[in-house]
Amino acid sequence: MKVIFVASGNKFGGKVSSFVQSQFDSLQAAGLEMIMCGVPEHGWKAYAKTIFRLRRLVRKEHPNIVHAHYSTCGFVASLATLGMCHRPRIVVSILGSFPSHSKKWKRVRWAITHLWDQTITKSKRTAEQLGFDLPVIPNGVNTDIFYPMDKMEARQRVEFEANKKYVVWCSNPARPEKNWDLAQRAVELYNAQYTAQCVLIPVYNKTPQEVATYMNAADVMLLTSESEGSPNVIKEALACNCPIVTTDVGDVHERLDGIEGCYIILADGTATYGLQGVGEWFEKDAIALANCLAKALEYGQRTKGYDRIISDKITVKDIAARILNVYSQLLINQ
Residue 187 has pLDDT above 90, yes or no: yes
Cα distances (angstroms) measured from residue 138 to each of 51, 141, 166, 332:
27, 9, 28, 23
Residue 274 pLDDT = 37
Mean pLDDT (whole number) for 118-129? 91
8 A C-beta contact, residue 66 and residue 81: yes
Residue 14 has pLDDT above 70, yes or no: no
Fold of 2-140+315-332: Rossmann fold (3.40.50)
Domain extent listing, the chain: 2-140+315-332, 151-310
Burial (CB < 10 A; 0-12, 13-18, 19+), residue 44, is: exposed
Mean pLDDT (whole number) for 160-185? 94
Cα distances (angstroms) measured from residue 247 to each of 177, 194, 196, 224:
12, 22, 23, 5
Residue 278 has pLDDT above 50, yes or no: no
Q: Of residues 91 and 38, which shows the higher confidence score?
A: 91
Query: Fold match between 2-140+315-332 and 151-310?
Result: yes
Residue 136 has pLDDT above 50, yes or no: yes
| 290 vs 249: CA distance, rounded Å | 18
Of the CATH numbers 3.40.50.2000, 2.40.50.180, 1.10.510.10, 3.40.50.720, which one belongs to the domain with range 151-310?
3.40.50.2000
Query: Of 105-119, 258-272, 300-314, where does mean pLDDT reach its minimum?
Result: 258-272
Query: Of 35-49, 169-183, 302-316, where does mean pLDDT reach its minimum?
Result: 35-49
% of the chain residues with pLDDT over 70: 93
In this structure, the number of other CB atoms found within 10 A of the CB of residue 137 comes to 20
Tens-place pLDDT, residues 190-248 = 999 998 899 999 999 999 999 999 999 999 999 999 888 889 999 999 999 999 999 99
pLDDT confidence band for 15 (50 / 70 / 90): confident
Nearest 5°: CA angle at 207, between 205 and 211? 90
The three-state secondary structure class of 201 is strand
- Whose CA is closest to 22, among 36, 11, 2? 36
Residue 272 has pLDDT above 80, yes or no: no
